[in-house]
């Protein structure tokens, strides 16, 4: 009889601000309304034995929301549409339609508001309120819409929502998010679902053990690579991760999903010491490992009392990327037929939340049809991994290949120069913390910075509109580690790791030399004629960390002098004491930074009138300078806003003949 062991991996990056602990992006909350809850409900109602893998830093964020915490997207959703200012309206229009197109295409009201925004039509107060509602309502999965009747009614209404409708929607969604972890605790304690765990902050374990391990699968790496060799950190993340998940579900956890399925021959011994008895990776890694060639379709002996399962890549990827386009019955039949063709034990492991974005019905028909078919056990019998781990093994693996589920290597997280710049920053911060004796407060930020997700978005493989937000959070964790030591973060953490190949939108390059008087008044308009200008009033990243401090940045040059003018918003948002501006000038042999205190409008004493609030600077540049600049807002040592938000301002000294006259 063919058996199938199925694992759903629930994971989102750690979006929490290192200074406040508040999530800076809403994706954990939104996925909780869909994939996390729907998968749990499908298992509870069907009783089919499957495995759910939980990442501890995800649990921490779910606890935040269950306790009434919010995020920037939620703040903007709660704001009465009539009270939104210009900056907030622009940010909602830019960022509130996020996620797979199928989610908004599934509902006429959501589809209409999305199409209107894409056509650039003007949005009135009612349109903005409709967008506020649909930005969350479109994410609600099938179980939430069924169990919270008000959400189903709001979807039928489709448009012309009221503020009361929005409050009803938000209250229902809050109940759904709060229900997720009690649901999995119930499933674990009833024995319906087996719960496995990942290391606490989801690090790539082979790289954390020693970045030199990357050479095993990436032999063409440069000779000089950043060296991080911290097996003790990997061990701590394994132990703490398992303990955190056990506390959350109230049941023993013995299974391990190594982040991104990344393994190496050092891992089984470490996993065993951390209390794990089985782990799951990808079949590509098994095929490249030193092993016996014995019975197929069974678990493998990895040594040290740890059993290994290796996922069937084709079947797993079909669920994640292909079955959304097929009728549920056909998709499930194809899955069962593929399992029967393999025979023996088939391991299926995949992302537990992202696939359901692409299903118009959030995956309801596929999940319920699959559970019904597995319950019949006439073609394929579902098994838990702990049960399968007791079966006779296929053979012994003598040396595990070093690689992940992506191409059986570690290129995504270490293969690009950008990846390695991030690892270099991590290495220096880790060394500083070690020199101070690894104090727990600093180590917590180091552990968070060791997570895989920051490096997923570095390099050229993947792109996202939110790349700079991920970059900012990574560097913010490292900066917070230095501050926990009582040290000032190095200026290198002011420079984005992520390189952007296109200039920010709204950029106007300089056209002639300028020689303005630097007095912070902007009284003489013609002094800045010919300057470049970067429009900063347009929101940038994901649910921006910025409160909107700058309207724009003007800059220009004269001989070797660079002139910069920051045009502040009116009113300038208040900030707590100690907040600083920072100008970062990149180019030449080193990065230069200039800091000065943030002074909001109420505390100015220069007597400027409305419309004149600005900051002016001049800097001497080396001959033939070529580089770029941006301005950041630093709060509690952490970058919380960046201008321009999605790029840098180019700075280049020109010969006189290069200018337009």
Pair 422, 450: CB distance under 8 Å? no
Between helix 163-190 and helix 56-66 the angle, nearest 10°, is 130
User: By mean pLDDT, which of 427-436, 497-506, 568-577 is the weakest?
Assistant: 497-506
- CATH code for the part of the protein at 1-206+230-282+300-388: 3.20.110.10
User: By mean pLDDT, which of 447-451, 455-459, 645-649 is the weakest?
Assistant: 645-649
* Rounded Cα distance, 148 and 400, in Å: 48
The region, left, alpha or beta by phi > 0 then psi within -120 to 50, assigned to residue 253 is: beta
* Rounded Cα distance, 148 and 175, in Å: 9
* Rounded Cα distance, 411 and 416, in Å: 7
Summarised one tens digit per residue, pLDDT across range 330-350 is 999 999 999 999 999 999 999
Domain with CATH 2.60.40.10 in the chain: 500-661
Whether 296 has a pLDDT exceeding 80, the answer reads no
Summarised one tens digit per residue, pLDDT across range 122-131 is 999 999 999 9
- pLDDT confidence tier of residue 656, bands split at 50, 70 and 90: very low
Summarised one tens digit per residue, pLDDT across range 74-109 is 999 999 999 999 889 988 998 899 889 999 999 999
pLDDT of residue 1: 81
User: Residue 34 carries which DSSP code?
Assistant: I
- pLDDT confidence tier of residue 495, bands split at 50, 70 and 90: confident
pLDDT of residue 463: 77
* Rounded Cα distance, 322 and 553, in Å: 46
pLDDT of residue 461: 81
pLDDT of residue 502: 66
pLDDT of residue 574: 81
Q: When comparing pLDDT for 298 and 31, which is higher?
A: 31
Long-range contacts of 150-156 (CB under 8 A, 24+ apart): 155/107, 155/109
Domain with CATH 3.20.110.10 in the chain: 1-206+230-282+300-388
Edge-to-edge, what's the strand order for the sheet holding 507-508?
507-508, 532-535, 550-558, 561-568, 614-620
Nearest to 317 by CA among 286, 338, 296, 288: 338
Summarised one tens digit per residue, pLDDT across range 547-556 is 578 888 999 8
pLDDT of residue 639: 77
Summarised one tens digit per residue, pLDDT across range 188-202 is 999 999 999 999 999
| Burial class of residue 408 (count of CB atoms within 10 Å of its CB; 0-12, 13-18, 19+) | buried
pLDDT of residue 538: 59
pLDDT of residue 564: 92
* Rounded Cα distance, 629 and 644, in Å: 9
pLDDT of residue 295: 66
pLDDT of residue 658: 41
Block residue for tokens 């929301």: 65
Pair 388, 293: CB distance under 8 Å? no
pLDDT of residue 634: 85
| Burial class of residue 444 (count of CB atoms within 10 Å of its CB; 0-12, 13-18, 19+) | middle
Residue 274 φ then ψ, to 5°:
-80, -5
HSE-CB of 99 using CA atoms within 13 angstroms: 34
Between helix 328-342 and helix 364-376 the angle, nearest 10°, is 40
pLDDT of residue 648: 84
Nearest to 46 by CA among 359, 366, 316: 366
Nearest to 33 by CA among 170, 213, 212: 170
What pTM value is reported for the model?
A: 0.88
Q: How far is CA 536 from CA 31, 87, 198, 567, in A?
A: 30, 10, 40, 9
Summarised one tens digit per residue, pLDDT across range 146-173 is 999 999 999 999 999 999 999 999 999 9
Nearest to 486 by CA among 414, 415, 436, 419: 436
Whether 572 has a pLDDT exceeding 80, the answer reads no
Whether 293 has a pLDDT exceeding 90, the answer reads no
Summarised one tens digit per residue, pLDDT across range 227-248 is 999 999 999 999 999 999 999 9
- pLDDT confidence tier of residue 543, bands split at 50, 70 and 90: very low
- One CATH from 2.60.40.10, 3.40.50.720, 3.40.50.450, 3.90.220.20 for 500-661: 2.60.40.10
DSSP string of 353-407? SGGGGSSTTTTHHHHHHHHHHHHHTSSEEE--HHHHTTSPPS-BEEE---B-TTT
Summarised one tens digit per residue, pLDDT across range 612-636 is 578 888 888 887 788 888 898 887 7
**Beta pairing partners, 629:** 585, 649
* Rounded Cα distance, 74 and 505, in Å: 26
What is the mean pLDDT of the segment spanning 110-123?
94
- pLDDT confidence tier of residue 545, bands split at 50, 70 and 90: very low
């Amino acid at each position: 009889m063919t058996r199938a062991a199925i694992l759903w991996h629930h994971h989102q990056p750690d979006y929490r601000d290192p200074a406040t602990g508040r999530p800076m992006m809403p994706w954990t909350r939104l996925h909780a309304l869909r994939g996390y809850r729907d998968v749990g409900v499908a298992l509870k109602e069907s009783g089919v034995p499957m495995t759910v893998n939980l990442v501890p830093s995800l649990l921490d964020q779910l606890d935040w929301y269950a306790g009434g915490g919010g995020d920037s997207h939620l703040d903007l959703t709660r704001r009465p549409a009539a009270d939104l200012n210009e900056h907030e309206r622009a940010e909602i229009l830019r960022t509130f339609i996020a996620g797979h197109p199928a989610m908004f295409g599934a509902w006429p009201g959501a589809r209409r508001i999305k199409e209107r925004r894409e056509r650039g039509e003007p949005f009135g107060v009612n349109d903005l309120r409709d967008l506020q509602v649909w930005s969350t309502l479109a994410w609600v999965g099938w179980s939430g819409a069924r169990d919270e009747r008000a959400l189903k009614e709001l979807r039928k209404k489709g448009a012309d929502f009221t503020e009361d409708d929005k409050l009803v929607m938000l209250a229902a969604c809050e109940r759904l998010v709060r229900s997720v972890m009690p649901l999995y605790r119930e499933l674990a304690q009833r024995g319906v679902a087996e719960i496995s765990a990942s290391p606490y902050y989801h690090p790539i374990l082979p790289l954390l053990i020693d970045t030199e391990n990357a050479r095993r699968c990436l032999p063409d790496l440069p000779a000089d690579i950043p060296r991080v060799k911290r097996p003790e950190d990997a061990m701590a993340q394994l132990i703490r991760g398992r303990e955190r998940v056990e506390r959350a579900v109230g049941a023993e956890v013995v299974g391990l999903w190594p982040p991104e399925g990344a393994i190496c021959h050092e891992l089984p011994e470490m996993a065993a010491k951390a209390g794990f008895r089985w782990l799951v990776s990808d079949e590509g890694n098994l095929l490249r490992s030193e092993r016996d060639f014995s019975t197929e379709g069974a678990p493998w002996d990895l040594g040290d009392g740890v059993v290994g399962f290796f996922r069937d890549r084709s079947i797993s990827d079909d669920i994640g990327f292909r079955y959304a386009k097929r009728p549920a019955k056909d998709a499930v039949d194809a899955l069962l037929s593929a399992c029967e063709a393999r025979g023996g034990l088939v391991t299926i492991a995949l992302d537990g939340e992202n696939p359901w974005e692409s299903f118009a019905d959030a995956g309801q028909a596929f999940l319920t049809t699959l559970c019904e078919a597995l319950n019949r056990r006439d073609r394929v019998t579902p098994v838990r991994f702990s049960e399968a781990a007791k079966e006779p093994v296929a053979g012994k693996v003598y040396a595990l290949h070093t690689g992940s589920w992506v191409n059986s290597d570690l290129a995504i997280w270490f293969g690009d120069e950008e990846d390695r710049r991030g690892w270099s920053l991590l290495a220096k911060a880790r060394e500083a913390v070690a020199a101070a004796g690894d104090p727990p407060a600093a180590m917590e930020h180091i552990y968070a910075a060791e997570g895989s997700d920051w490096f997923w978005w570095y390099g050229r493989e993947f792109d996202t509109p939110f790349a700079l937000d991920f970059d900012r959070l990574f560097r913010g964790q490292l900066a917070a580690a230095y501050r926990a030591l009582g040290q000032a973060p190095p200026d290198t953490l002011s420079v984005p790791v992520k390189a952007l190949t296109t200039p920010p939108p709204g950029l106007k390059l300089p056209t002639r030399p300028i020689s303005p008087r630097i007095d912070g008044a902007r009284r003489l308009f013609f002094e800045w004629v010919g300057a470049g200008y970067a429009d900063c009033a347009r929101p940038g990243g994901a649910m921006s960390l910025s409160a909107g401090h700058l309207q724009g940045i003007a800059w220009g040059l004269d001989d070797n002098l660079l002139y910069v003018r920051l045009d502040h918003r009116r009113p300038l948002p208040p900030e707590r004491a100690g907040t600083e501006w920072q100008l970062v000038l990149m180019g030449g042999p080193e990065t230069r930074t200039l800091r000065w205190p943030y002074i909001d409008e109420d505390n100015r004493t220069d007597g400027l009138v409305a419309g004149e609030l600005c900051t002016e600077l001049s800097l001497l540049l080396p001959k033939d300078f070529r580089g770029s600049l941006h301005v950041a807002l630093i709060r509690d040592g952490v970058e919380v806003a960046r201008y321009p938000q999605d790029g840098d301002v180019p700075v280049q000294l020109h010969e006189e003949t290069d200018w337009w006259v």
